[in-house]
Amino acid sequence: MNVTALSSPVSTPSVSKWQMVRPWLGTLARLGLAAVWLVAGGTKVGDLAASGRAVNAYDVMPYDIAKVVGAALPFVEIALGLLLLAGVATRVAAGISTALLVVFIAGIASAWARGLQIDCGCFGSGGQLAAGQSPTYGPEIARDLGFLVLAGFLLIYPLTRWSVDSWMERE
């Protein structure tokens, strides 16, 4: 009699802990990033002129272009938030999120390096700080790096729980 056959358990497909946890982590990342974009866009959409002034405060493009970018940005953020909330085109939304976050981080770092005294405008009107106020560039960059980690996770693992993408994958 074969001793190996007696000592080995019945072969069943095994699922690693990572394979079980990954979709749930992705769901948290997707919903967290969706909330970020929805809040960021929602706080700006009511005052598009202020959003344009916030973009202009970075002093990296002509005023007329900054106004257009500032007016469009809240709608892009809201669209990304809705896509991520529903889990539709998650990898595409994560890719656009990654690109935007890299631009935001570079913009904040540039403002810091040039000694500008501005509010990033990430979750509100932004623009020039009042006399006596200090910018908080370090925490803003750290926060955006955290959001970048979420977007990067979704780029690699876009299929999450409770998403249209996962539902379509099963069909």
Confidence of residue 13 (pLDDT cuts 50, 70, 90): low
Contact assessment for residue 39 and residue 124, using Cβ atoms and an 8 Å cutoff: no
Pairwise CA distance, residues 80 & 34, whole Å: 7
The model's pLDDT over 61-79, given as tens digits with 9 standing for 90+, comes to: 999 999 999 999 999 999 9
Neighbours of 36 (CB within 10 A): 24
Q: What is the pLDDT of residue 125?
A: 76
Provide Rg for the chain, Cα atoms.
Answer: 22
Q: What is the pLDDT of residue 12?
A: 53
Contact assessment for residue 99 and residue 148, using Cβ atoms and an 8 Å cutoff: no
Confidence of residue 15 (pLDDT cuts 50, 70, 90): confident
Instruction: Identify any residues that bridge with 127 across adjacent strands, giving them in sequence order.
Output: 119
Give the pLDDT mean for 98-115: 97
Pairwise CA distance, residues 5 & 80, whole Å: 54
Picking from 137, 144, 141, the residue whose alpha carbon sits closest to that of residue 119 is 137
Q: Which phi and psi (to 5°) does residue 16 adopt?
A: -70, 160
pLDDT above 60 (res 163)? yes
pTM score, whole prediction: 0.88
Report the mean per-residue pLDDT for the chain. Answer: 92
pLDDT above 60 (res 144)? yes
Neighbours of 5 (CB within 10 A): 7
Instruction: Identify any residues that bridge with 119 across adjacent strands, giving them in sequence order.
Output: 127
Residue type, 120: C
Burial class (CB in 10 A: 0-12, 13-18, 19+), 104: buried
Q: How far is CA 41 from the centre of its chain?
A: 12
Q: What is the pLDDT of residue 34?
A: 98
Confidence of residue 11 (pLDDT cuts 50, 70, 90): low
